A = this chain, B = another copy of it.
């Protein structure tokens, strides 16, 4: 139309993308003993499926992620998908070679069946009546998605943090359905401290008077205080002490102490902003579900606590990536995974990336990380004939 019609994104972006929703009408049994009669999953795909149907990779999202991993929903979008740094033409998850699938998990709040969606039986929001789902439940639902897309197996299942845990669980529960697992900044289970932080976040939400036992939608309100506190606390665990110090130090917004409870250190202002903006885009019931899925994740549990046994049957090869300054899921947690995989006789590559940010490093383009990740995915692509 005019010279401004050139797309606003760079050539290594997948560019304009659209989600689509798949409906599943076979009941899904859940770990909690309940089942979903039917459910929807909203997904995005990037790249093309090859004729052999061998180049499909699944991206699993983390706590506050969704199906929009890469690209833009419109030319006026201010931000791309959450993993734009790693997904696109020529990037580690190379959309010139792979058919990339990313979904919003069950219980999520971005379009898949979850607390903020309406129930088919009574037309009301699920709210707190949505079942507490586990990583195993998600993997089971993702296997339905694989079938719906008529994929014989994944070339790789890939994720960071809670997403990495899903990738690991895939290799345990469907040992022959993924050729590779890429688990970044993940852990074989939460530590006691991890659970403790989740519990504080949950209590912040559960005790918010606007929570109304999870039926806040019916009360036309939102437990915004609780959700804000949960997010502020989360952010502290996503960044290393050093990264926070480098970014904000002890800098005062107005240069001098104000002797008030207004935000006066820069870091206070940052956290409040992060907390407030989360309220608009995330659902409190979903936040509760995600933290429980994290707490429960423990693939060794069904194998008498022996992690190596859990991985024994898998045919997958593994890439584990950790970040030096990650204190939420420290490199030691990835090494624990590595040792179990080696003990189980699996092929495993492990990289510990020296980077300052912390847990959030998995979302940013740290050069060494992109190289390690890209080289591994190059191997995955070659094997897949992509």
Which residues of A approach B to under 8 Å, CB–CB?
A: 31-33, 131-132, 189-193, 195-197, 199-200, 202-204, 206-209, 225, 228-229, 232-233, 235-236, 239, 241, 244-245, 247-250, 257, 259-261, 263, 265, 267-268, 271-272, 275, 288, 292, 295-296, 298
Asked if A204 and B192 sit within 8 Å, CB to CB, the answer is: no
Q: Most chain-B CB neighbours within 10 Å: which of A189, A193, A229, A244?
A: A193
Asked if B267 and A288 sit within 8 Å, CB to CB, the answer is: no
With A295-B265, A296-B257 as known contacts, state yes or no: A229 contacts B203, CB within 8 Å.
Answer: yes
Tell me, rounded to whole Å, the shortest Cβ–Cβ distance linking A192 to chain B: 4
Number of copies: 2
Asked if A250 and B195 sit within 8 Å, CB to CB, the answer is: yes
Cross-chain contact of A232 among B200, B232, B244 (Cβ < 8 A): B200
Residues in B with CB closer than 8 Å to A200 are 229, 232-233, 236, 271
Q: Top 6 closest A-B pairs, CB basis? A: A32-B259, A192-B244, A207-B225, A193-B241, A132-B259, A199-B268
Could you name 19 residue pairs across A and B whose Cβ atoms are closer than 8 Å? A31-B257, A32-B259, A190-B250, A191-B241, A192-B247, A192-B248, A192-B250, A193-B241, A193-B244, A196-B244, A196-B268, A196-B271, A197-B236, A199-B265, A200-B229, A200-B233, A200-B271, A204-B229, A265-B295
Kindly report which residue of chain B lies nearest to residue A207, judged by CB atoms. B225
Tell me, rounded to whole Å, the shortest Cβ–Cβ distance linking A70 to chain B: 30
Residues in B with CB closer than 8 Å to A190 are 250
Asked if B204 and A236 sit within 8 Å, CB to CB, the answer is: no
Asked if B229 and A199 sit within 8 Å, CB to CB, the answer is: no
Kindly report which residue of chain B lies nearest to residue A301, judged by CB atoms. B250
Query: CA–CA, A298 to B251, complex, Å?
Result: 12
